[in-house]
Structure 1
Amino acid sequence: MNPAIIVLGRRWRAGGWMVMRRFLAVVSGIALTWALMPALSSGAAPAVAGPCMGAPAAEGTTYNETRQFVDTQAWWMPDTDQANNSITNTGHAHLGACIPERETISSGNLTVNVRVILHDNPGTADYVAMVFKTSDTEKTVQKCYLRAAATNFTCPGPSRTGKGDFTCTGTCERWLTFSRPISAFNHSGLQDVRFRGFIPEPDGKVMQTNFNWQVGIQNGKSPSDVSRDAFLRGKGWYTHAKYCEASVRSVALPDSPVSGVWTPVLGLTSRTDGSLPATRSFISIDPDFHAVPSNAGAVLWDSAGPYGAEPFGSAPISIDTRTLANGVHKLHLRTSCRDNKLGSTNSGVTVIPFTVAN
C-alpha cells in the first residue's frame, strides 16, 4: 500500500502530525512491511469524496474529502424579563459552511462556501473575513463583502462606501466563496481556520459571528500544530457583551454514522477576556425556532449557567440515538450571556450534523 494514501486519509488529532512526520522520516525510501501497517493506520479515517453531510440543497458541491455543514450563529435578543424593543432585539446572524474539519488538504486551495443568513436583523451586513491562525501567526487572508446585488458563490468587493450594503427584512440568505492556496499557512500540521462576520446595527453597536475550526495542512512548510483552543466553536459577539461560545470538544466530528448511545463532549461557556459569564445553556436535537409555533426539538439540556465549568470547561452528554430515526440530524448548542447594562442577552450557537444508523 502506498503510504501517501494513508497520509491523505488521516484525521488530525492531538499530536497526530508530529507522530506521522517522525514516522515517515524513518521509513522514507523504505518499503513498508505488513507488520508496520497497523501502527501507521491507527486512528486514520479514509478520505471519502462526496457531498457534504447535512448541507442545504443550494450548496450542492462534491468534495474530495469528508465535509460536514456546520452552522454558527450570533443572537442579540432579550431574556423573558428584559424589555423587547429595537435596541434590545436585533435578531440573529448565521455563518454556516461545509468544512473539512480535521481532514487533510495537501495541495491546491482551501475553498469554502459560506452561507450568511440574517433573521429579523435590522443591521447592514458589512463583510466576512477568512483568517488563518497557526501556532505563531494570525492573519486575515481574504475578505468577502456582503452586497445587496451580488451573485451568490462569489467574493464581492466593497461598495462605493468601502463597506457592504446587504440589508434584510425577515429572513435573507447570501452565499460567499472563499478560496486561498494552502501555501498561505506559514506552517504545516493542524491549523486553525476562522470566519468572522460583521453586522453594524442601527444604534452603533456591532454584532459579530465567529466560526473556528481546524484542518490538517500539508504544504511542505515546517510542521507546527496549533494547540490553543483547538476545537470546533461558534461564538456570538456583541458590543460590550463580547464573546459567548458554544463548542464541541470531541474531535473530530463523526464522519461515520453513530448508533446506540453517542456521548460527545461539549463546552457551553464564556471566556476570561472581559466577556460576560454564561447565564444559560441549551442543548437540543432538531429544533426549528423559525417555525410557527417555534419548535424546541428534543431538548437534552436547558439550565441556568454554563454547560461545563467556566472558563472553557466541558462535559459529556449522552444521546440515545435509538430514540431517533435513521438519517441525518442536527445537534443544536446555545450559550447565552446576559448583559444587564445593555438590557439584552448575547448568545453563541453551534449546530452540527450527525447521521444515525441503528
Structure 2
Amino acid sequence: MPETFSACQDCLCFCFELGTAFAISLTGQILKVSPTLAEELGYRQAELEDKSLKALLGPEGLTAARAFLSLSETPRTQFAVRLRARGGELIPALLFACRFKDHVKVWVKLGERATERQKRELLIREVHHRIKNNLQGIAGLLYNQALAHPQLKELLETPIRQINAIAQLYSLRSQGQDRVFLCQLCQIIAQAGLSLSQVALTLDIPYLQAIEVQDQEAVSIALVLNELLANAIKHGQGPITLSLRKQAEEAQVRIQNPSPKPPAFDLAQGVGLGTGLQLVKALLPQDGSATLTFAWEAGEMTAALSLRPPLGALCTPKWAIVSGIDFA
C-alpha cells in the first residue's frame, strides 16, 4: 500500500511539472507554479511563487478559491476563472483543485486567449470611453462657469449641448457597438438638448427599420441635429416634436414647433444665417447624400433633414425603435 501511494504521488508530481498547474497553501499563498503555466502567462516561476492568489486570479476566481479553501470537508472541486497574465490580460481557464494534507494542487485548462482583433477592439472601446469621460468633464467645467457667471450662460449653452451630444455618441461606441443608428442619434440629441431646457419634447420614431449612419459622418449628423433642435428651442414657441420617417429610399428627421412667423433666412443662399445654421450648412455633406429644408405653414415651422445612401443606409432591424416618448 505505501508503495502504491508513493507511486501515485510521483505520478502527480510528474504531471504537475509537465502540465499547466500550481500549488497553494491552505491560506491561499502560491507555493509553486509549473514551468509550463508560468510560460503560458508570461512570467518566470519566481515572480509568482510566495505571492498571494491575487497575483494570479481575477476577482471572481479569488472568491471561488477562498470558498473552497474554507470548506475542509471538500476534497476536490472545479470552477471557471480568469487567470491574470503579464500585462493585465485576463485569460479564461478551468481549474481542477485537489486538496492534500497541507496544500492544494490546481491543474489548469487554459481557454483561448484574445485574438489580436479582439485586443484591438477592446483598446478602441477603452479609448472611446476615455474620450467620452473627457468630453463630459469639459462640459461640466463649462457648466460650472455658466453657473458662476450668469451673464455667460446663454453663450456657453451651445458648446455644452454640442459637447454632450458628441460625448453620448462616444458612449455608444465605448459599449462595443460598431454601428451607429439614426434613432440613437435622435435620442442622444433630445437628451442633450433638454439637459439645458424645460421645453416639452415628443420623440416620435414609430418605424422598425434600422437606419445606419456612416461612422465617419456620425459626429457631423449629431451636431447638425443638435443645432436644429437648439434653434427650435430658442426661437420656437410651445412643444417640439422630433420624428423619424422612412420615405422610399431615404430617411427623414423632422423637427417641428409652433412659430408665429416664417423664417427670415435662406439656407440655400446663405442669407440671414446665425452662427448655428452657418455651422449646419458647413457640416452637411456636399455629395447630395443629405439635404436640409425649412418650411413654415399655418404657424408651424418644420426643419426636415433627409439622408440617403451611402450616408443613411436602411438595414435589418436589431431592436424595436421607441415611439411616442414625451420629454416634458
TM-score normalised to the size of structure 2?
A: 0.25
More strand by share: 1
Larger RCO (CA within 8 A; separation ≥ 6): 1
Q: Please identify which structure carries the higher helix content.
A: 2
Highest CA radius of gyration, 1 or 2?
Answer: 2
